[in-house]
Structure 1
Amino acid sequence: MSIHPYRFASGTVALAALLAFAPLHASAATHLDTTAFSFDSASPGRADALLADGGGATTISLLGAHDMIKYDAADPSWNGPYDHLYQGVFQLNVHAGYKITGYSLMGTFSGEHYVGQFPTGSDLNIMPMNWGAAYAGAGVAIRADLPATGGAVAPLSHQQHNLKGTDAFTLDSGPLDHAGPMNLYVEGFAFAEATAAEWWYLDYGFMGKDYSRARIELSGPLLLTVYTQAVPEPHTYAMTLAGLALIGGTLRRRRRLARSGAQADFSLKG
């Protein structure tokens, strides 16, 4: 199963639209100021939360994704009113003196998958009524637009099907060198269904059943980490160059004085 959430329009228009209709879509608008950039989002469910900001890395918890990317075929109360699609738009405006060097999206899927079985045994006289079946699938994707240049960062995605246990994943943009605004889009889905195996005991006149199970979810919030680096201002470059020139001049004078001294000493000895 592939990811089929609705596609966003470009950049600021999409963000403005989601913020304007946040109450209608039960979305949470979040504004955060970090060391290197401001962060504005429109995403379903709970508001996003700042977890860490320092050392060139800012980590934000996407709590709404945890609430929505889940599905349990046996428990309809899990499955909510949103068709199990998560769509988050995040606008980053980089502060002067900083640039974005990359980003990553981390998460962990957990799941259960069991297909109901007919009983076995040579003494059983049964008639199959319904074969068991189970399916559970989920996926997450991230992509980015660079409004100032019209560029984009290639989309990344991860999917899991019929998971038994856990599956940790990281989607990493790779190295970037970007000092302008950036729009990030995170999308996700989850779906599950299960059908029990059913049979008729011909000797006893009643039906047997073995329930199938299918569940998949994010076991915690998605973690969005943006990596940044300080960029020296132009006057800092000028001061650095002036300092290097001064050091270079001093070294040259010392070398000349050393050569002159050596020549004078040689003349005296001669």
Structure 2
Amino acid sequence: MAIHPYRFASGTVALAVLLAFAPLHASAATHLDTTAFSFDSASPGRSDALVADANGATTISLLGARDMIKYDAANPTWNGPYDHLYQGVFQLNLHAGYKITGYSLMGAFSGEHYVGQFPTGSNLNIMPMNWGAATATGGVAIRADLPAAGGMVAPRSHAAVNLNGTDGFTLDSGPLDHAGPLNLYVEGYAFAEASAAEWYYLDYGYMGKDYSRARMELSGPLLLTVYTQAVPEPHTYALTLAGLALIGGTLRRRRRLARSGAQADFSLKG
């Protein structure tokens, strides 16, 4: 699903441009050092925050997404700036001895949807003036570039339409085996509009109205989790192979000694 016609430029160029113009776009530049990688971003709104970093899973809260991805048709001043669109660029550079095995983006949409109705009843003499209408939509997508390898990870996306309640989602990259830098791109949007049902009471000479409602927002920050794994250094492999060879040689010597002892014992008994 296409989240928005605007797309990011590729790789480090996009990150450099956003960082250079961060004040102009009210973006917050974030630098984090985690166990397995460094994390740099240029994202609208508040700075991204480290939530957890243990056992090969690093979770970062994209706080700006919560501020931007929201729209209430009944309260325009409450809506996020920049056309209710979020675009974040995140650059990951692995520390020596680590690789990326996957990533996921988790969140939840919350919404309200009600279409205004005309009154019912056989004794009502009304003339419809405007039919009620309401729509509320939202979406989030994530994709990745692999600058060193020249490849990419296919986009994952989720959309919500006319919610009454919440809709949780997790966008998973699937298994990766990547030992170079990684550029992540996250997009999101929300939009809503509503118009009231209006009618005219012919018997009484006045208008009636039933307001429609439409709202769509993230119920909390997006949570980006990057999964990593330690990769043994080449000398570690060499030591491991040497150790296995030593163990194998020891076992072979023990077997030879055991066979020799058994043969000698048989000879004596004979």
Q: Is the TM-score greater than 0.5?
A: yes
Q: Matches of 2:57 and 2:151 in 1, distance apart?
A: 23
Alpha carbons 2:142, 2:186 under 8 Å: kept: yes
| Deviation at residue 6 of structure 1 after TM alignment | 2.0
Structure 1 gaps of 5+ residues are none
Corresponding position of 2:228: 228
1:24-78 CA-partner distances (Å, limit 9, x unpaired)? 0000000000000000000000000000000000000000000001100001122
Show the 5 A alignment for 1:84-95. Answer: 84-95=84-95
Corresponding position of 2:176: 176
Q: Matches of 1:17 and 1:245 in 2, distance apart?
A: 53
Which amino acid in structure 1 is aligned with residue 170 of structure 2? T
Alpha carbons 2:67, 2:80 under 8 Å: kept: no
| Deviation at residue 81 of structure 1 after TM alignment | 2.6
Alpha carbons 1:115, 1:211 under 8 Å: kept: yes
Alpha carbons 1:43, 1:89 under 8 Å: kept: yes
| Deviation at residue 2 of structure 1 after TM alignment | 4.6
Indicate the percent of aligned positions where both proteins have the same amino acid: 89
TM-score (normalizing by structure 1)? 0.99
1:73-131 CA-partner distances (Å, limit 9, x unpaired)? 00112213310100000000011100000000000001000000000000000000000
**SS of equivalent to 1:83:** helix
Corresponding position of 1:211: 211
1:216-235 CA-partner distances (Å, limit 9, x unpaired)? 10000000000000000001
The answer to whether structure 1 residue 145 and structure 2 residue 145 are counterparts is yes
Corresponding position of 2:191: 191
Q: Matches of 2:241 and 2:52 in 1, distance apart?
A: 35
Alpha carbons 1:42, 1:88 under 8 Å: kept: yes
When residues 97 and 2 of structure 1 are mapped into structure 2, their CA distance, relative to the original with a 3 A threshold, is closer
Q: Matches of 2:230 and 2:2 in 1, distance apart?
A: 39
Q: Matches of 1:31 and 1:56 in 2, distance apart?
A: 19
**SS of equivalent to 1:261:** helix
Alpha carbons 2:68, 2:81 under 8 Å: kept: no
When residues 153 and 14 of structure 1 are mapped into structure 2, their CA distance, relative to the original with a 3 A threshold, is same
Corresponding position of 1:255: 255
Corresponding position of 1:105: 105
Q: Matches of 1:75 and 1:222 in 2, distance apart?
A: 23
Which amino acid in structure 2 is aligned with residue 159 of structure 1? A
Q: Matches of 1:87 and 1:184 in 2, distance apart?
A: 11
Alpha carbons 2:138, 2:217 under 8 Å: kept: yes
Alpha carbons 1:40, 1:92 under 8 Å: kept: yes
Q: Matches of 1:188 and 1:25 in 2, distance apart?
A: 16
Aligned residues: 270
**SS of equivalent to 1:107:** strand
Q: Matches of 2:3 and 2:152 in 1, distance apart?
A: 20
Alpha carbons 1:146, 1:180 under 8 Å: kept: yes
Q: Matches of 2:142 and 2:2 in 1, distance apart?
A: 14
Show the 5 A alignment for 1:1-270. Answer: 2-270=2-270
Bigger drift between 1-10 and 147-156 goes to: 1-10
Which amino acid in structure 2 is aligned with residue 177 of structure 1? D
Alpha carbons 1:5, 1:85 under 8 Å: kept: no
**SS of equivalent to 1:154:** strand
Structure 2 gaps of 5+ residues are none
When residues 242 and 166 of structure 1 are mapped into structure 2, their CA distance, relative to the original with a 3 A threshold, is same
Q: Matches of 1:79 and 1:216 in 2, distance apart?
A: 10
Alpha carbons 1:143, 1:184 under 8 Å: kept: yes
Kindly report the root-mean-square deviation, in angstroms, between the aligned alpha carbons of the 2 structures: 0.8
Runs of 4+ more than 4 Å apart: none
Q: Matches of 1:231 and 1:5 in 2, distance apart?
A: 39
| Deviation at residue 5 of structure 1 after TM alignment | 5.0
Q: Matches of 1:194 and 1:3 in 2, distance apart?
A: 22
Alpha carbons 1:5, 1:188 under 8 Å: kept: no
